[in-house]
Amino acid sequence: MKNVLAKLLVGVLLAAGPLAAQSGNASVSGQVKDATGAVIPGAKISVKNTETNVVRSTTTNAEGIYVLSNLIPGSYTLEASFEGFKNLEQGPFTLRVGDRVAIDLAMQVGAQSERISVTAEIPLLRTDDTQTGLVIDNRRIQELPQYNRNALAFALGCLSFYALGFLLAGLLPTARSTQIVAMALFYPMLFLSGAGLPRELLPEGIRRFSLVLPLTHVTTLLRGMWSGEPWSAHWLEVGVLLAILLVGTLLSARVFRWE
């Protein structure tokens, strides 16, 4: 029974890691509208770390909402672009550890070659800032993506790694050896997946290698779902995880033994 519990624990650790690793970083979200107040879906939103020059990008969803998560603390500028509108740049502004900042953007009709730069201090809307006593209205909270809206993506990631955990447990002779090998595989995958450190900071060769790791697909899918992106934008991640779940389940059913 102890061996069984230890093997199950390995599966839990493998499945639950991606979300726990992201809690210390910051995120920026908001809604993009035009001068009339109409939302702008499909606008490209980019944040640039002014200290490292690393750029992270996303697009607004059907409601004009964007989310850029897992940002390391530092100084950033924010840029929005969309065909038929002038490029809009705001900042710099500072993100602290754990910040959840909301910045709405208002774009003006014009050529993309034209640029509007807003260098004045941006009123940052932090969703849980007890130091400033900021109160966020219910509408804003509802607009922000939430993890509990993405239970299916989370379940898919968990089940895929449960299958891998049981397969690993069945191939190795003891629970102790399973734990050692699982942790030796898990922590490098966690580092390379982008769950704790943005993959953009990794060297190009390592970044390409990380694309073959299953945890990278879990992290990418969860971040996309959390950002409000459609499932169709993540067919690759879904396909890979479903394949892992199917193959891992079939193989583990053959080699796993309850002890």
Residue 161 above 50 pLDDT? yes
Are the C-beta atoms of residues 49 and 203 closer than 8 Å to each other?
no
- Mean pLDDT is lowest, of 73-77, 196-200, 239-243, for 196-200
- Give mean pLDDT, residues 223-249: 83
Q: Give the Cα separation of 188 and 193 in Å (integer).
A: 8
The angle that helices 151-171 and 214-226 make with each other, rounded to 10 degrees, is 170
| pLDDT for the residue 66 | 92
pLDDT tens track for 56-115: 999 999 989 998 888 888 899 999 999 888 898 887 888 887 788 888 888 888 876 666
pLDDT for 22 beyond 50:
no
Reduced to 3 states (helix: H, G, I; strand: E, B; else coil), residue 157 is helix
Mean of pLDDT over the chain: 76
180-185 long-range contacts (CB < 8 A, ≥24 apart) are 182/10, 182/13, 182/14, 183/13
Domains of the chain: 2-22+147-255 (no CATH), 26-143 (2.60.40.10)
Q: Is the pLDDT of residue 7 over 60?
A: no
With 80 as the cut, is the pLDDT of residue 258 above it?
A: no
Classified as helix, coil or strand, 135 is coil
Read off the pLDDT of each residue in 171-187 and give the average, rounded to a whole number.
Answer: 84
Percentage of the chain with pLDDT > 70?
72
Span 150-159, pLDDT tens digits: 678 888 888 8
